[in-house]
Each structure stands twice: as C-alpha cells, then as structure tokens.
Amino acid sequence: MQITAAALRLKFIWIELGRYGRGNQYSRRGTRWTGHFLLAIGMMTDGLKTAAGPGLRHLLTRWTDTPLRGVLAGFLMTAIVQSSSAVTVASLGFVNAGLINLHQVLGVIFGANIGTTMTGWLVALLGFEVNIQAFALPLIGIGMLLKLMRGPGQLASAGVALVGFGLFFIGIGVLKQSFEGIVETFSLTRFTADGMSALVIYLLLGVLVTTLTQSSSASIAITITAASSGVIGLYAAAAMVVGANVGTTSTAVFAAIGATSAAKRAAAAQVLFNLITAVVAMLILPVLFYLINSISALLSLDPDTGITLALFHTLFNLLGLLLIFPFMDNLARWLEQRFKSWEETESHPRFLDNTIAQTPALAVNALLNELDVVQQRFLNLYQLAISPQYDASKFRQQRDVLNNLARQISRFIVNLESAALPDETTEQLATLMRVEHYLVDCTLSADTLAASWNTREKLRDPTLESELAGFLNQVYNNMVTVTHAQEAANSDINSTLDSILQEKDRIKATLIMAGTRHQIEIAQMSSAIDSLQEAWHITKTWHKATHRVTALAAIVRPEMPEPEPLVASQ
C-alpha cells in the first residue's frame, strides 16, 4: 500500500507540475534551461576531454599501476571532465584496446564515482550564494573568443569547456528560480517522502532521470536545486542522488554492448559497485545523515540543503569505496571468470600452466607443443584469408585467437626467464621467443593479405587472375609441406624459397607489363602486387620459424610423439 501511495503521490506531482507549467513563466523558463543545462554538461565534457587529450591517455595508461593510484586517476579525471560516464567509457575504450587490464580499470571506475561528487559541491557552494551571472557570462565570452580566435586544437577545446561552464551555472540559476516559483504556487508538505517504499520510488526516479539524460552530474545538480528550493524533501532528494549513482551505470552498459569481454567485465564492475553502494546507503540513510550533521557541526558549516546533499553524495561514495577496496583483487578474479568469449576459450593454452613452469626442461617441450598449435591455427587462418568464400567475421575471430595465444606464450617465456636457468635453457627460450615473434609477424601479414585480396577488383585477364590465385595456394601448400617435414635441410629450404621467389617475380613482371599496356587497371595491378608481396613475406617468415622449431625439437624431444593435430574451428 505504501508503494501505491508513493506512486500516486509522484503521479500527482507530475500532473500538478504539468498544469503549472502550462501557465507559469518560471516553469517555461526552467524547461528551456534544462535543455541548456544538459547542453552545458555536454560542452564541458567534450571540450575538456579534447583539451586533456594525451593527458587523459597518460593518466589511464601510466598512472593506474596500483589500485590506489587508479582511484586517484579516476577521481582527478572525473573532477576535471565533470562526467564519470565519460571517464568510464574512455576506460572501457582503453580496455578494449588492451592498453590497461581489468585490475587497473577497476580503480579508475571506482575513483570516477568519487570524482563525480564534485558537481554537487560546485552547485552547493557556487550555485546559491554567488551572483552567477557576474562570472558565468565572462566565462562564456572568454570561451567563445578562444574558440573563434584559435583553430581546431586543445586551446579551442578549452574555450568550448569554458562556455559549457558558463552555461552550466546560468542553467543552475534559472532552475533555482523556476523551482522557487513552483513553491509559491502550491503546498509542498504532501510531496515529502515517508517510509522506505516512497524512498525507493524516488530512487527509481533518480535512476530514470540519469538514464534518460545520460548524465549523473546533470541529474544530481537538478536534484540539489529542487531540494534547496523546497520542491522535494531532504530524504527524497538523497534517494534521488543514490538513484543517479545507479543510473550512471547505464552509459557503461550501453558502451559494453558488442565490446570485448574485458570491457564487459569492467562495465559489470561499475554496475556491481554502484548497486552495492546504493543498497548500503539506503539501508543506513539515517546513520549517514547523523554523520553529516556531526561533520557539519564539527566544521561549523551552515545547515544548508545543498551542502548537506553534496556531503551525503561524497560520504556514501567514499563508504562504498572503503567497503569494496580491500576486495578489488578478489572482484577482478571473479569477473575474469565471467563473460568468457569464444576467442578467450579457444585461445586458452593447451600445454602451459604454472605446474609445468616449475621444470624448465618440461616447460621448453610444452612451449614447442604450444607453438605447434599456433602453427596449425595459422595454416587455418591463411586458408580463410585466401578462400573464395571469405568470411570476415570468422577470419577476425581466428586472428584474435592467434594473437591472444601468442601473448600468453610470450608472457610464459618471460616469466620463465626471470628465474635462474642454465645457459642452454636460456638460449632455447630465446629461440622460442623469436619463433613466437615470427608467427605474430605472419599473422599481421595475413591480416593485411586478407584485406587487400578480398577488397580488390579482380583482374580482367582470367589467366593472370588464375596465376595470382595459384601462387597464393602454392604458398599455402609449401607451408604445409615444410611444417610436416621433420628433418628439412637448409639447402632444401633455400631451394624451395628460391623457386617461390622466382614465381613471385615472374607474376609481378607480368602484372606490371599488363598494367603498362592498359590490359588491366593500375589500381588492379597495385592491389595484386600487394597481395603477392604479403604472401611472399609470409612464406619467408614461415620458413624461418619452422626451421628454428624443427632444429630445437630435434634436441629437446628426439623420440617424443607430436601433439595431436588441431581440428579446424568452425
């Protein structure tokens, strides 16, 4: 019954505000300036993000190596940009790119939640006691001068941010006047929340407003202005602030759609953190306000509604951070087991683990087995790249699997080399590292080959087109032959490479002649030659990798069976 009553109360507020808005100048101005207010938030965010530019990237990639530094980086960036959503989405982008890992991004996300409380303090301290237009209008003027006088760049972006700040504070002033006008029209006593169910309704309202505006800063600023004007009670405003904290996670959730598994885990971390913080804040709401009153009395602060809500917003976010900070590593490990992608499952090493790392001789053999798997996967990838039925999505999946697997092999080798090892084992690990780099090089070239081969216009000369396709298939067949030749002599390898090089040069010369005689377009000739060159580079690099693997395998496992062949993935 309490929930129904609260819902009816909110519906009545909506109806009354609608009636009032149709005939009141303050309401109409407030409606217009709400739009200006949201525009100001966007201008501040966009301008400061661009002005920060390399600084934002530097903070994310260089200053997040410990959880505490990550929290500080997230706090500083959000305090500057004035948008936790912007910092969170930027962090997801860096996670997507592999520039920071999940452990690093957790601190940034949690720090961003603390940083977003600065908006409340700006509104509380500057929005109600200062003559806003006295400094807001000069900010707009200076900002526009910078924008107009300077071309595209960081200084012009800083100008846009200044304009945003000016509009931000003017919007606060007009919203305040609008809410004060509403107060004069009808009684406010019926609109204060009573009971937990009513607070939940206001919390959900905060979630809704923040989700629709995609800005917790805007939602919190509007809530503080409304509470300071008496439109809603203090506890109701506090519930809406908590709801804004939950609603801001929608930006990360939307950004994580279609993103990598790591980005989805980061978004899930923000959702979990904000939900846990919201639940705790709502359960101990009276305790938090008792603490706020005690802090205000200790610091001799005036009992101002805006300052009280800003302090509340900061306090419950700090409490949430204190609750979850000791468990960040556990949370990261738990999340790493969730949102497993197909690529991550497929790229899990078959032969490498911590147990095998304890015995270097066995680890070298395990690495050889893992590199055999990588070679088989690359042969599958090359087939996909030159297939007449080219599937770009499937190719990218297989490419990502190869890259992930190569990174894990490289990391395993580095960890082994950090221990005291015999010189012979160290040399073997160096050889394996070199082979891994060769295979990564092949993967990069295959990616380039797939792009050039499958986006080019086919040659008008069917004979040339057939010869070109035949060369790419010849490269594949040669790689298969070399891979399965357990004892290939250097002379045999060099002889095979010479014949492939001669065929490549012959086709290239034919293509150039055909282009000169206008038998094929120059663009067709160039793309065909690019494909030839990439295939030639792949086969050269492949021969180097295979020769080193074969020589090392003859020493490490002269009588050991080969690993099971890899079945081509669907």
| Separation of alpha carbons 433 and 430, rounded Å | 5
What is the DSSP code (8-state) at residue 326? G
Task: Map out the domains of the chain as residue ranges.
Answer: 24-336, 343-556
Q: Distance between CA atoms of 436 and 287, rounded to whole angstroms?
A: 58
**For residues 163-171, average pLDDT:** 69
> Which of 99-113, 201-215, 399-413 reaches the highest mean pLDDT?
399-413
Residue 353: per-residue pLDDT: 72
| Amino acid identity for residue 457 in this structure | E
The whole-number pLDDT of residue 48 equals: 54
- What is the pLDDT of the chain when averaged over all its residues? 75
Q: Is 146 exposed, middle or buried (0-12, 13-18, 19+ CB in 10 A)?
A: buried
**Confidence class for position 470, pLDDT limits 50, 70, 90:** very high
Query: Which tokens go with 239?
Result: 């519930």
> What token pair was written down for 298?
């200790």
**Residues 6+ positions from 266 with CB-CB distance below 8 Å:** 91, 92, 95, 102, 105, 106, 109, 252, 256
Please, are residues 494 and 544 in contact by the beta-carbon 8 Å criterion?
A: no
- pTM of structure: 0.53
Q: How far apart are CA 330 and CA 325, in angstroms?
A: 10
Tell me if 339 sits within 8 A of 268, measured CB to CB. Answer: yes
Q: Average of pLDDT values for 122-134?
A: 56
Cα separation, 553 vs 435, whole angstroms:
12
**Token reading at 22:** 């149709």
Q: Which of 355-369, 393-407, 464-478 shows the lowest mean pLDDT across its residues?
A: 355-369
CATH number of 343-556: 1.20.58, 1.20.272, 2.60.120, 1.10.3470? Answer: 1.20.58
DSSP structure string for 257-288? TTS-HHHHHHHHHHHHHHHHHHHHHHHTHHHH
Q: pLDDT of 219-234, one tens digit each?
A: 777 787 778 777 777 8
> How is residue 20 written in tokens?
């009032």
Mean pLDDT of the 191-203 span: 69
519 φ/ψ angles, rounded to the nearest 5 degrees: -75, -25
Predicted confidence (pLDDT) at residue 317 exceeds the cutoff of 90? no
Whether pLDDT at 507 is above 50: yes
In sequence order, the 6+-apart residues with CB closer than 8 A to the CB of 454 are: 385, 390, 392
| 3 state SS of 457 | coil
Q: Buried b / exposed e across 315-349, counting CB within 10 Å, b at 16+? A: bbbebbbeebeeebeebbeebbeebebebbebbeb
Tens digit of each residue's pLDDT (9 = 90 or more) over 50-78: 655 555 555 556 677 777 888 888 888 77
Q: Which two tokens stand for residue 334?
A: 């738990």
DSSP H or E segment with residue 256: helix 249-256
Give the type of residue at 271.
V
* pLDDT one-digit tens code per residue, 263-287: 788 888 888 988 988 888 888 888 8
The set of residues, in sequence order, having a beta carbon less than 8 Å from that of 67 and lying 6+ positions away, is 103, 106, 107, 325, 328
**pLDDT the model gives residue 178:** 57
Q: CA–CA separation, 46 vs 250, rounded Å?
A: 19
* Confidence check: pLDDT of 345 > 70: no
Q: Are 60 and 97 in contact (CB under 8 A)?
A: no
pLDDT higher at 155 or 331 = 331
SS3 percent helix, strand, coil of the chain, rounded to 5, is: 80, 0, 20
